[in-house]
Amino acid sequence: MLHIALEAVAAACAVTRSAQQAREAFGSLTKDDRSPVTVADYAAQAIVAMTLKERLQNPAECALVGEEDSGDLTKDDAKLTREGVVRLVRTFRQGVEEEEVLEAIDSGADQGTGEAYWTLDPVDGTKGFLRGQQFAVALARVEQGKVRLGVMGCPGLPVDQATTTDVPDPGGVIYAAVEGQGAWEYADCDPNVDPMRISCDIWSADRPLRYCGSVEKAHGSVSDAGRLIESLGGGTRVAVDSQCKYAIVARGQADAYLRMPKNAEYVEKIWDHGAGSIIATESGAKVSDIHGRPLDFGHGRVLKANSGVIVAVPGLHEKLIDGIRELGLGPAPSA
């Protein structure tokens, strides 16, 4: 399944990257500034779903919890966007019909209640995509409530860690992990290259702490994250869109990724954390919610048993969880 997931994500990376590069043309065509990411979202989900169905063949193995459905796409006022999606999919699958594309998109309607399924975020990091910066294609395999396999394409993330993430790399990188088999990096988003094993950094209190957070403030409490870091002596915040933050910790470029909940009502979606969580875990990092509990993917399309997400290298993770408790940050743990 790893090879099939790599194939699907690599194809989706190529398609979404081309849509990102042509985002101004798409926006001009449809008079909608968000249309490029809309087209890319739908096209990527269709391509991943088609690849899984074709390569796995057994329908029971293809259950997909995807972020998108074709409801809005089939409306009369979405004609131009719908045509753009089909054209984009045809760059990878020549001759595919509109009906096939819509059917593939809707195959992501699984509710995640079975013993095993895939979960996909076809374009994670909408604002990063629209700014021409970082986004990710994230695909994970969940079995019995736990992520067993994850593949995450980061089409603009530089392989060279000395290069700023603000400037997208033309090649990008894919990260992949299978439970118990480590985390691996595929340069240039090419699943056929020899991958390099990655591992998280070793925590040292003697150097400045480096932590990742979302560019968009709506994704979490920046103030709570700041208070937590200050309680440990301060640190440098790297703002990056999408699950690329998981990869940045996994490959040793940062010590932590904090996603502090803004309120008790917000519940994380499984596609926002499936692939990234296993890649970080297999690199040696620790992943939990803000109370130190493992992420529980056994509750359908949301992580309703968890609150927020903390990803950090060993040694630091424990300090972060202790700090959250001592400062009284976030909602209280549920029973």
**For 179-199, how does the pLDDT look when each residue is reduced to its tens digit (9 = 90+)?**
999 999 999 999 999 999 999
The tokens describing 193, both together, are 């290259």
Confidence of residue 270 (pLDDT cuts 50, 70, 90): very high
Is the pLDDT confidence value at 85 over 70?
yes
| Domains, the chain | 209-327 (3.40.190.80)
Q: Which residue type does 217 have?
A: K
> What pLDDT shows up at residue 57?
82
Can you tell me the mean pLDDT for 55-83? 90
97 pLDDT more than 60? yes
Residue 15 pLDDT exceeds 70: yes
Label residue 252 left, alpha or beta by phi (over 0 means left) and psi (-120 to 50 means alpha): left
Residue percentage of the chain with pLDDT more than 70:
95
Residue 130: predicted pLDDT: 86
Supply 10's token pair: 């690599």
**DSSP state, 304?**
T
- For residue 139, pLDDT over 80 is answered with yes
Contact assessment for residue 40 and residue 20, using Cβ atoms and an 8 Å cutoff: yes
Where in the sequence numbering do the catalytic residues fall?
41, 126
> Is the model's pLDDT at 33 over the cut of 60?
no
Question: Per-residue pLDDT for 32 more than 60?
Answer: no
- The mean per-residue pLDDT over the stretch 262-280 comes to 94
CB 173 within 8 A of CB 154: yes
Predicted local confidence at residue 87, as pLDDT: 92
Q: What is the pLDDT of residue 267?
A: 94
Question: Residue 223: is its pLDDT beyond 60?
Answer: yes
The pTM of this model reads 0.94
Closest by alpha carbon to 219, among 323, 86, 124, 296?
124
219 — pLDDT class (breaks 50, 70, 90) = low
- Look at 33-37, 77-81, 207-211, 259-263 and tell me which has the smallest mean pLDDT: 33-37
Task: Give the separation between CA 229 and CA 103, rounded to whole angstroms.
Answer: 46
On the question of pLDDT at 23 being above 80, the answer is no
